[in-house]
Structure 1
Amino acid sequence: MIKDISLKVVRYENRYKNDWDKFVNEAKNSTFLFRRDFMEYHKDRFEDFSLMIFKDDKLVAVFPANIRKNEVFSHEGLTYGGLVVLKKLRTTDYYSIFRELLFYLYNANINYFYLKEIPFFYNSIPNDEWKHLAYITNAELYRRDLCSVINLKKDFAISKSIIRDAKMGEKHIDLFERTTNFKEFWNEILIPELFAKYQTKPVHSLNEIVFLSEMFPENIQLYCAFKDKKIIAGTVLFIFDDVVHVQYISGLQRYRKVGILDFIFHELINNKFKDFSYFDFGISNEQNGRKTNKGLLFWKESFGARGISQDFYKFSTSNYPLIDQMYL
């Protein structure tokens, strides 16, 4: 493989914002998470190292990333990442771009970069070229998560116990609807319940989720069940073109055994989002995929969800010459 001298890698700067966002909107493997307004809500926590790849001065790929201790990550503040490319890009061009990315990082004295896979159902068309290159360059699989996902376009079975409990839950609420009252959900439900059960706190602060929901009102939605005009349970959803992702789930402890959450998700899956293709409950594992919350996994699968893996790879930048050797 001969180095493509028409390719140029540059660090992202604010002056490229419009070009970046326009490209993300048209890419085959991108979501609103890669928009600069979303990526930069936590810029105080991550040192940005996003890259843009041009071919003959035309933008052909972007790489959302941050740098930490001289290692680059396909952004630690995002659920997934990697090289974002256009739909028409051919595989051999992808190889050249990826090779150039590795070469650029190598020359910047960055020994490793870490890539977290975009699960296939978020892509508009196939996007596994990077996985082939992970094999070619001897990248290390260092983590594998399992997402619980419902294919809404295929037959899926919701368990009889969920249906029963959902009917029971409906009787214990006065109202179920979308709301913008993130403050009450965060302060009265999510924060105290997460701490009581797991001794953790939400990834997003209240100010951050309010900012993001106002910036992306159609993509970030809160659905809650109410009793006596107070929120007793709810979920925050990230809405993509054809995929619903569950970002947060929480409810008051005293209502946990009467089917409120079962009702909420039964309603969302069978009515509100029934015309989407995938409903992604997210992962039920911790410690780099080594440990699984068995009860949580069982509950998600009771709605008909099944496992789809998400891989995390560590690339050695010095292995870029292996891409040069891959052609017959």
Structure 2
Amino acid sequence: MVPLLEDSFGRRITYLRISVTDRCDFRCVYCMSEHMSFLPKRDLLTLEELDRVASAFVERGVNKLRITGGEPLVRRNVMSLFRALSRHLQTGALTELTVTTNGSQLARHAAELADCGVRRVNVSLDTLDPETFRTITRWGDLDRVMVGIEAARAAGLQVKINMVALRDANAHEIEPMLRWCHAEGHDLTLIETMPLGEIEADRTDQYLPLSAVRAKLAERYTLTDLTDRTGGPARYVRVEETGGRLGFITPLTHNFCESCNRVRLTCTGTLFLCLGQDHAVDLRAPLRQSEADEALHRAIDEGMAIKPRGHDFVIERRNARPAVARHMSVTGG
């Protein structure tokens, strides 16, 4: 028997986010540069290796797995990973297997995701305006995403919309997005832009504090604080006038690290212990060292020992460098 995962601050680790690829078919302005250099395929863990690592974490008490990217659904044969991991849902070891996607491939995969036991998907959608969508994503097609969202709903998947709040690009669209999401039966979560990786834009121009957004919404809507938790950092309110749920992820205005239960595995086998810090351990070498998992579990334990208390994100003009050099697409958010 191997012990349950706990870091040096006494926090139980029950949530693993797995980035299956750093590639994406969009180039969102807050996430990556337009001309990205991606990892060669030979550097990636195989889908079978990703299953093995994930299963080791499930053995240690992780009960929620989220598949991320880049855009996870562009990885070749990625549905075989979902099918493999679904066995942990059947045993009850996992309570949730889910995915974060830009929605571009959802129409193709929604039904099979549901068959694999996925019950909820997060779709990154920052605007309902086609021109603004093209500006933010550079390469994206809003119609294709909307068809994907409809396919997910038809497959019985609960859809949560994630919207990054950008001061000049979409601040005026937050209220229309709220009304649309709740009319369609979707939760909406707003996210502050994070200082990860070099991009062409100045993040001080992008940054919109959600404290200001909430204050503005409260002038028109009744926002009732909820104790709901979905395993991640979002804090939720119910919008009484719409009856829907609204989440806020605020890594800058309200640090959420004190209750962090998450670690992140990259597609190359690096385990990052914090989204906003560089603390990491390599799991690929011990994974390939032998067919047994003893070395893998030792490396995971090393990670628990160095998981930091929290991040220290700052966005300001006198400190314009990103908090960490890697892009969001590397660790999947």
User: What is the TM-score when the length of structure 2 is the normalising length?
Assistant: 0.31
- Bigger Cα Rg: 1
User: What is the TM-score when the length of structure 1 is the normalising length?
Assistant: 0.31
